[in-house]
Amino acid sequence: MTSSSTRLSPTEITRQAVDSFAATPDARSREILQSLVTHLHAFVTDVGLTEREWADAVAVLTATGHITDDRRQEFVLWSDTLGVSMLVDALAHPSPGGATESTILGPFYVPGSPLREHGADIAEQEAGTPAWIRGRVRSLDGTPIAGAELDVWQNGDNELYAVQDPDAPDDHLRGRFLTDDDGGFSFRAVRPVPYRIPDDGPVGRMLAATGRHPWRPAHIHVVVRAAGHATLTTHLFDAESHHLHDDTVFAVKPTLVHSFAARAADDPARPPGIEESWVELEIDLVLAPSDHPADPFVDGGRTH
Ligand code: BEZ
Ligand code: FE
Protein backbone atom coordinates (compact mmCIF):
# COMPACT_ATOMS: atom_id res chain seq x y z
CA MET A 1 0.00 0.00 0.00
CA THR A 2 1.36 3.42 -0.97
CA SER A 3 0.92 6.23 1.56
CA SER A 4 -0.31 9.60 0.28
CA SER A 5 3.05 11.17 1.12
CA THR A 6 5.03 8.70 -1.03
CA ARG A 7 6.17 9.88 -4.43
CA LEU A 8 4.67 7.60 -7.10
CA SER A 9 6.66 6.21 -10.00
CA PRO A 10 5.19 6.47 -13.54
CA THR A 11 4.26 2.77 -13.37
CA GLU A 12 2.46 3.28 -10.07
CA ILE A 13 0.53 6.28 -11.44
CA THR A 14 -0.68 4.10 -14.31
CA ARG A 15 -1.63 1.30 -11.94
CA GLN A 16 -3.61 3.69 -9.72
CA ALA A 17 -5.49 5.14 -12.69
CA VAL A 18 -6.30 1.68 -14.05
CA ASP A 19 -7.37 0.42 -10.61
CA SER A 20 -9.70 3.41 -10.14
CA PHE A 21 -12.05 1.73 -12.63
CA ALA A 22 -11.95 -1.69 -10.95
CA ALA A 23 -15.42 -1.32 -9.43
CA THR A 24 -17.14 -0.27 -12.67
CA PRO A 25 -20.30 -2.39 -12.63
CA ASP A 26 -20.54 -2.86 -16.38
CA ALA A 27 -17.80 -5.31 -17.41
CA ARG A 28 -17.41 -3.98 -20.96
CA SER A 29 -17.12 -0.36 -19.78
CA ARG A 30 -14.52 -1.48 -17.24
CA GLU A 31 -12.52 -3.32 -19.91
CA ILE A 32 -12.60 -0.36 -22.30
CA LEU A 33 -11.68 2.27 -19.71
CA GLN A 34 -8.87 0.25 -18.17
CA SER A 35 -7.42 -0.57 -21.57
CA LEU A 36 -7.76 3.05 -22.68
CA VAL A 37 -5.84 4.30 -19.63
CA THR A 38 -3.19 1.60 -20.04
CA HIS A 39 -2.58 2.46 -23.71
CA LEU A 40 -2.81 6.22 -23.17
CA HIS A 41 -0.23 6.09 -20.38
CA ALA A 42 2.01 3.83 -22.48
CA PHE A 43 1.82 6.34 -25.34
CA VAL A 44 2.67 9.29 -23.06
CA THR A 45 5.61 7.36 -21.61
CA ASP A 46 6.75 6.05 -25.00
CA VAL A 47 7.08 9.49 -26.61
CA GLY A 48 8.13 11.19 -23.35
CA LEU A 49 5.32 13.71 -23.75
CA THR A 50 6.33 17.13 -22.38
CA GLU A 51 4.11 19.52 -20.40
CA ARG A 52 4.09 21.88 -23.39
CA GLU A 53 3.06 19.12 -25.79
CA TRP A 54 0.26 17.97 -23.49
CA ALA A 55 -1.01 21.57 -23.21
CA ASP A 56 -0.94 21.78 -27.03
CA ALA A 57 -2.94 18.55 -27.24
CA VAL A 58 -5.56 19.92 -24.84
CA ALA A 59 -5.75 23.08 -26.99
CA VAL A 60 -6.35 20.92 -30.09
CA LEU A 61 -9.16 19.04 -28.31
CA THR A 62 -10.65 22.36 -27.16
CA ALA A 63 -10.54 23.75 -30.72
CA THR A 64 -12.18 20.54 -31.94
CA GLY A 65 -15.05 21.08 -29.51
CA HIS A 66 -15.41 24.74 -30.43
CA ILE A 67 -15.65 24.15 -34.19
CA THR A 68 -18.11 21.23 -33.86
CA ASP A 69 -21.85 21.89 -34.16
CA ASP A 70 -24.91 20.35 -35.88
CA ARG A 71 -23.40 20.94 -39.34
CA ARG A 72 -19.68 20.49 -38.68
CA GLN A 73 -18.33 17.32 -37.03
CA GLU A 74 -14.61 17.71 -36.35
CA PHE A 75 -14.50 14.65 -34.04
CA VAL A 76 -15.59 12.43 -36.95
CA LEU A 77 -12.89 14.06 -39.10
CA TRP A 78 -10.25 13.09 -36.51
CA SER A 79 -11.57 9.54 -36.42
CA ASP A 80 -11.57 9.35 -40.23
CA THR A 81 -8.16 10.96 -40.88
CA LEU A 82 -6.45 8.92 -38.13
CA GLY A 83 -7.80 5.72 -39.69
CA VAL A 84 -9.89 4.82 -36.63
CA SER A 85 -13.18 4.80 -38.56
CA MET A 86 -11.83 2.29 -41.09
CA LEU A 87 -10.24 0.20 -38.32
CA VAL A 88 -13.59 -0.04 -36.51
CA ASP A 89 -15.23 -0.94 -39.85
CA ALA A 90 -12.62 -3.65 -40.50
CA LEU A 91 -13.13 -5.16 -37.04
CA ALA A 92 -16.93 -5.08 -37.42
CA HIS A 93 -16.87 -6.67 -40.89
CA PRO A 94 -13.83 -8.99 -41.01
CA SER A 95 -15.14 -10.80 -44.09
CA PRO A 96 -17.89 -9.63 -46.43
CA GLY A 97 -18.76 -13.26 -47.28
CA GLY A 98 -20.43 -12.24 -50.55
CA ALA A 99 -22.21 -9.20 -49.16
CA THR A 100 -21.46 -5.71 -50.47
CA GLU A 101 -18.55 -4.28 -48.52
CA SER A 102 -19.00 -1.45 -46.06
CA THR A 103 -17.04 1.74 -45.57
CA ILE A 104 -17.22 4.86 -43.43
CA LEU A 105 -20.32 6.97 -42.86
CA GLY A 106 -18.45 10.29 -42.85
CA PRO A 107 -19.58 13.51 -41.17
CA PHE A 108 -22.11 14.70 -43.77
CA TYR A 109 -24.90 12.19 -43.18
CA VAL A 110 -28.10 14.01 -42.22
CA PRO A 111 -30.99 11.82 -41.03
CA GLY A 112 -34.50 12.39 -42.33
CA SER A 113 -33.85 12.79 -46.07
CA PRO A 114 -37.06 13.06 -48.12
CA LEU A 115 -38.62 9.82 -49.32
CA ARG A 116 -38.56 10.11 -53.14
CA GLU A 117 -40.30 8.20 -55.96
CA HIS A 118 -38.50 5.63 -58.13
CA GLY A 119 -36.38 7.43 -60.68
CA ALA A 120 -36.56 10.79 -58.90
CA ASP A 121 -33.71 13.27 -59.00
CA ILE A 122 -31.88 13.96 -55.75
CA ALA A 123 -30.46 17.20 -57.20
CA GLU A 124 -32.79 20.09 -56.39
CA GLN A 125 -30.66 22.49 -58.42
CA GLU A 126 -27.94 22.27 -61.08
CA ALA A 127 -25.09 20.16 -59.64
CA GLY A 128 -23.18 18.46 -62.48
CA THR A 129 -23.39 15.71 -65.10
CA PRO A 130 -26.60 13.68 -64.65
CA ALA A 131 -26.04 10.14 -63.36
CA TRP A 132 -28.67 7.42 -63.61
CA ILE A 133 -28.17 4.87 -60.83
CA ARG A 134 -30.19 1.69 -60.81
CA GLY A 135 -30.00 -1.84 -59.54
CA ARG A 136 -31.35 -4.33 -57.10
CA VAL A 137 -31.04 -5.02 -53.38
CA ARG A 138 -30.78 -8.71 -52.62
CA SER A 139 -29.80 -11.08 -49.86
CA LEU A 140 -26.78 -13.40 -49.93
CA ASP A 141 -28.73 -16.24 -51.56
CA GLY A 142 -29.87 -13.92 -54.37
CA THR A 143 -33.42 -13.31 -53.11
CA PRO A 144 -34.56 -9.78 -54.03
CA ILE A 145 -35.41 -7.67 -50.99
CA ALA A 146 -38.62 -5.68 -51.44
CA GLY A 147 -39.18 -2.60 -49.29
CA ALA A 148 -35.48 -2.05 -48.50
CA GLU A 149 -34.61 1.58 -47.87
CA LEU A 150 -31.74 3.26 -49.69
CA ASP A 151 -30.57 6.47 -48.04
CA VAL A 152 -28.29 8.32 -50.48
CA TRP A 153 -26.30 11.56 -50.34
CA GLN A 154 -23.48 13.12 -52.29
CA ASN A 155 -21.60 16.31 -53.09
CA GLY A 156 -22.18 18.42 -56.18
CA ASP A 157 -19.68 19.72 -58.73
CA ASN A 158 -18.88 22.64 -56.39
CA GLU A 159 -17.39 19.91 -54.12
CA LEU A 160 -19.95 20.64 -51.38
CA TYR A 161 -22.61 18.59 -49.61
CA ALA A 162 -25.86 20.51 -49.03
CA VAL A 163 -25.15 20.59 -45.29
CA GLN A 164 -21.96 22.58 -46.05
CA ASP A 165 -23.48 24.87 -48.67
CA PRO A 166 -25.51 27.86 -47.47
CA ASP A 167 -26.79 28.39 -51.05
CA ALA A 168 -28.24 24.86 -51.40
CA PRO A 169 -31.73 23.75 -50.32
CA ASP A 170 -31.56 21.49 -47.24
CA ASP A 171 -32.65 18.38 -49.18
CA HIS A 172 -30.38 18.96 -52.19
CA LEU A 173 -28.42 15.86 -53.28
CA ARG A 174 -29.96 13.54 -50.75
CA GLY A 175 -32.98 11.25 -50.63
CA ARG A 176 -34.44 7.95 -49.52
CA PHE A 177 -35.83 5.33 -51.91
CA LEU A 178 -37.75 2.09 -51.28
CA THR A 179 -37.11 -0.97 -53.41
CA ASP A 180 -40.00 -2.42 -55.43
CA ASP A 181 -41.29 -6.03 -55.32
CA ASP A 182 -38.25 -7.20 -57.32
CA GLY A 183 -35.80 -5.42 -55.02
CA GLY A 184 -35.28 -2.82 -57.76
CA PHE A 185 -34.37 0.82 -57.29
CA SER A 186 -33.46 3.73 -59.53
CA PHE A 187 -32.66 7.35 -58.97
CA ARG A 188 -31.08 10.33 -60.66
CA ALA A 189 -27.96 11.81 -59.11
CA VAL A 190 -24.95 13.62 -60.53
CA ARG A 191 -21.55 12.24 -61.37
CA PRO A 192 -19.63 12.78 -58.12
CA VAL A 193 -16.38 14.77 -58.11
CA PRO A 194 -13.38 14.46 -55.78
CA TYR A 195 -13.50 16.92 -52.90
CA ARG A 196 -11.49 18.20 -49.99
CA ILE A 197 -12.63 17.34 -46.48
CA PRO A 198 -13.08 20.50 -44.39
CA ASP A 199 -9.52 21.66 -43.69
CA ASP A 200 -10.05 25.02 -41.99
CA GLY A 201 -9.96 23.55 -38.47
CA PRO A 202 -7.65 21.49 -36.26
CA VAL A 203 -7.76 18.44 -38.56
CA GLY A 204 -6.76 20.63 -41.52
CA ARG A 205 -3.87 22.03 -39.48
CA MET A 206 -2.75 18.47 -38.70
CA LEU A 207 -2.91 17.54 -42.42
CA ALA A 208 -0.89 20.61 -43.43
CA ALA A 209 1.69 20.13 -40.66
CA THR A 210 2.26 16.51 -41.68
CA GLY A 211 2.42 17.02 -45.45
CA ARG A 212 -0.88 15.22 -46.04
CA HIS A 213 -3.60 16.40 -48.45
CA PRO A 214 -7.34 16.66 -47.71
CA TRP A 215 -8.70 15.01 -50.90
CA ARG A 216 -11.24 12.20 -51.18
CA PRO A 217 -12.03 10.33 -54.44
CA ALA A 218 -15.44 10.88 -56.07
CA HIS A 219 -18.23 8.79 -54.54
CA ILE A 220 -21.93 8.57 -53.73
CA HIS A 221 -22.90 7.51 -50.19
CA VAL A 222 -25.50 4.78 -49.69
CA VAL A 223 -26.95 3.30 -46.51
CA VAL A 224 -29.27 0.32 -47.09
CA ARG A 225 -31.66 -0.83 -44.36
CA ALA A 226 -33.91 -3.89 -44.57
CA ALA A 227 -35.66 -5.96 -41.93
CA GLY A 228 -33.74 -9.11 -41.00
CA HIS A 229 -30.54 -7.83 -42.61
CA ALA A 230 -27.48 -6.00 -41.37
CA THR A 231 -27.58 -2.32 -42.26
CA LEU A 232 -25.03 -1.58 -44.98
CA THR A 233 -23.12 1.72 -44.97
CA THR A 234 -21.11 2.05 -48.14
CA HIS A 235 -19.91 4.23 -51.05
CA LEU A 236 -20.15 3.93 -54.84
CA PHE A 237 -16.72 5.14 -56.00
CA ASP A 238 -16.18 6.39 -59.57
CA ALA A 239 -13.42 4.33 -61.23
CA GLU A 240 -12.24 7.38 -63.19
CA SER A 241 -11.71 9.54 -60.14
CA HIS A 242 -8.43 10.92 -58.85
CA HIS A 243 -7.37 9.93 -55.31
CA LEU A 244 -8.66 6.35 -55.37
CA HIS A 245 -5.18 5.35 -54.18
CA ASP A 246 -4.60 8.09 -51.64
CA ASP A 247 -7.98 8.79 -50.06
CA THR A 248 -7.19 10.93 -47.02
CA VAL A 249 -9.57 8.83 -44.88
CA PHE A 250 -8.42 5.39 -46.19
CA ALA A 251 -12.00 4.40 -47.12
CA VAL A 252 -11.56 2.87 -50.61
CA LYS A 253 -12.10 -0.87 -50.98
CA PRO A 254 -11.48 -2.27 -54.50
CA THR A 255 -14.92 -3.90 -54.72
CA LEU A 256 -16.59 -0.51 -54.19
CA VAL A 257 -14.99 1.07 -57.29
CA HIS A 258 -17.38 1.10 -60.27
CA SER A 259 -17.27 2.24 -63.89
CA PHE A 260 -19.89 4.84 -64.69
CA ALA A 261 -20.81 4.24 -68.35
CA ALA A 262 -20.84 7.37 -70.56
CA ARG A 263 -24.12 7.92 -72.46
CA ALA A 264 -24.88 10.40 -75.25
CA ALA A 265 -27.57 13.06 -74.99
CA ASP A 266 -29.58 11.31 -77.73
CA ASP A 267 -29.29 7.82 -76.24
CA PRO A 268 -32.83 6.38 -76.56
CA ALA A 269 -32.46 4.77 -73.11
CA ARG A 270 -32.06 8.12 -71.38
CA PRO A 271 -34.36 8.58 -68.41
CA PRO A 272 -37.04 11.29 -68.51
CA GLY A 273 -35.75 14.80 -67.92
CA ILE A 274 -32.17 14.21 -69.11
CA GLU A 275 -31.31 16.29 -72.18
CA GLU A 276 -27.51 16.35 -72.08
CA SER A 277 -24.84 13.65 -72.01
CA TRP A 278 -25.08 11.55 -68.88
CA VAL A 279 -23.56 8.56 -67.11
CA GLU A 280 -25.10 5.34 -65.91
CA LEU A 281 -24.29 2.87 -63.17
CA GLU A 282 -26.05 -0.44 -62.59
CA ILE A 283 -25.28 -2.02 -59.26
CA ASP A 284 -26.48 -4.89 -57.06
CA LEU A 285 -26.35 -4.21 -53.33
CA VAL A 286 -26.12 -7.43 -51.33
CA LEU A 287 -27.07 -7.51 -47.64
CA ALA A 288 -25.83 -9.93 -45.00
CA PRO A 289 -28.40 -11.48 -42.66
CA SER A 290 -28.79 -10.12 -39.15
CA ASP A 291 -30.02 -11.76 -35.98
CA HIS A 292 -31.57 -8.50 -34.90
CA PRO A 293 -35.22 -8.08 -36.01
CA ALA A 294 -34.56 -4.45 -36.97
CA ASP A 295 -30.87 -3.73 -37.09
CA PRO A 296 -30.51 -0.22 -35.67
CA PHE A 297 -28.57 2.33 -37.64
CA VAL A 298 -26.28 4.24 -35.33
CA ASP A 299 -25.14 7.70 -36.37
CA GLY A 300 -22.79 9.53 -34.06
CA GLY A 301 -24.63 8.40 -30.94
CA ARG A 302 -28.15 8.74 -32.36
CA THR A 303 -30.01 5.52 -33.10
CA HIS A 304 -32.65 5.58 -35.83
C1 BEZ B 1 -17.45 11.90 -46.66
O2 BEZ B 1 -17.30 10.96 -47.40
O3 BEZ B 1 -18.47 12.56 -46.77
C4 BEZ B 1 -16.36 12.24 -45.71
C5 BEZ B 1 -15.71 11.23 -45.04
C6 BEZ B 1 -14.70 11.56 -44.15
C7 BEZ B 1 -14.36 12.87 -43.93
C8 BEZ B 1 -15.02 13.89 -44.60
C9 BEZ B 1 -16.03 13.57 -45.52
FE1 FE C 1 -18.44 11.78 -49.00
CA atoms within 13 A on the CB side of 45: 12
Query: What is the pLDDT, as a whole number, of residue 300?
Result: 42
Counting Cβ atoms within 10 Å, is residue 29 exposed (0-12), middle (13-18) or buried (19+)?
Answer: exposed
Q: Which atom of ligand 1 is nearest to the CA of 221?
A: 2
Most ligand 1 atoms within 8 A of CB, residue of 108, 152, 203, 238 to mutate: 108
Taking the CA of 106 as reference, the closest ligand is 1
Most ligand 1 atoms within 8 A of CB, residue of 104, 109, 234, 248 to mutate: 104
Q: Which atom of ligand 1 is nearest to the CA of 235?
A: 2
Q: Decide if 152 contacts 283 (C-beta within 8 A).
A: no
For the stretch 129-184, pLDDT in tens is 999 999 999 999 999 999 999 999 999 999 999 999 999 999 999 999 999 999 99
State if residue 249 touches ligand 1 by the CB under 6 angstroms criterion.
yes
From CA 198, how far away is CA 189, in angstroms rounded? 23
From CA 5, how far away is CA 36, in angstroms rounded? 27
Query: What is the pLDDT, as a whole number, of residue 293?
Result: 52
In words, the CATH class of domain 74-303 is mainly beta
Residue boundaries of the structural domains of the chain: 10-49, 74-303
Ligand 1 atom 5, closest CA = 106
**Single pTM value for the model:** 0.91
Whole-number Å distance, alpha carbon 81 to ligand 1 midpoint, is 9
Query: What is the pLDDT, as a whole number, of residue 3?
Result: 52
Query: What is the pLDDT, as a whole number, of residue 184?
Result: 98
- Hey, is 257 helix, strand or coil? strand
List the chain residues with pLDDT less than 70.
Answer: 1-5, 292-304
Query: What is the pLDDT, as a whole number, of residue 302?
Result: 39
Taking the CA of 110 as reference, the closest ligand is 1
From CA 102, how far away is CA 77, in angstroms rounded? 18
